[in-house]
């Protein structure tokens, strides 16, 4: 009886040990190994053909910002403090003496250049919400 129990335990351990093992690492085929001196080109940024049209903020007090592309905004406000891109969306951040202005750009049609659709402003000290129009004028004056 004891020999049968030991044999059963050994077979069970062997079976479970086979389940725990991982697959051997896969080697890259020779064709995927870079050749000396070969430099792959950067992948092109894909433009989606499916667009979720963002809600565009009303331009009250934000004349010339809402609907503007990034080039027009940087020409108007100078180099952004932060310039982030994620997919087709982009965020530009400009700072004045007392406030920070975030401008969000999204494409409003398939394959269209992103334009400013939303603006948010906050105070530099404490981060409380600020008037976007006032912050915009402060940044233009600097």
- List the pLDDT tens digit at each of the 142 positions of the chain: 555 544 455 555 555 455 454 444 455 444 444 445 444 444 445 555 555 656 676 666 787 899 999 999 999 999 999 999 998 899 999 999 999 999 999 998 888 899 999 999 999 999 999 999 999 999 998 7
What dihedral do alpha carbons 121, 123, 129, 132 form, nearest 10°? Answer: -30
Helix (H/G/I), strand (E/B), else coil: 134: helix
Find the helix or strand (DSSP H, E) in which 100 lies: strand 99-106
Q: What's the half-sphere exposure (Cβ side, CA atoms, 13 Å) at 121?
A: 18
């Amino acid at each position: 009886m004891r020999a049968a129990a030991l044999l059963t335990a050994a077979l069970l351990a062997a079976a479970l040990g086979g389940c725990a093992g991982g697959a051997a690492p896969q080697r890259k085929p020779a064709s995927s190994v870079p050749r000396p001196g070969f430099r792959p080109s950067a992948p092109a940024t894909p433009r989606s053909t499916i667009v979720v049209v963002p809600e565009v903020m009303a331009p009250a007090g934000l004349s010339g910002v809402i609907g503007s592309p990034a080039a027009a905004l940087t020409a108007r406000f100078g180099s952004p403090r932060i310039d982030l891109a994620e997919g087709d969306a982009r965020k530009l951040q400009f700072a004045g003496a007392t406030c920070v202005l975030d401008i969000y750009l999204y494409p409003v049609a398939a394959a269209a250049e992103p334009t400013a659709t939303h603006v948010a402003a906050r105070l530099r000290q404490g981060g409380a919400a600020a008037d976007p129009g006032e912050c915009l004028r402060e940044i233009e004056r600097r």
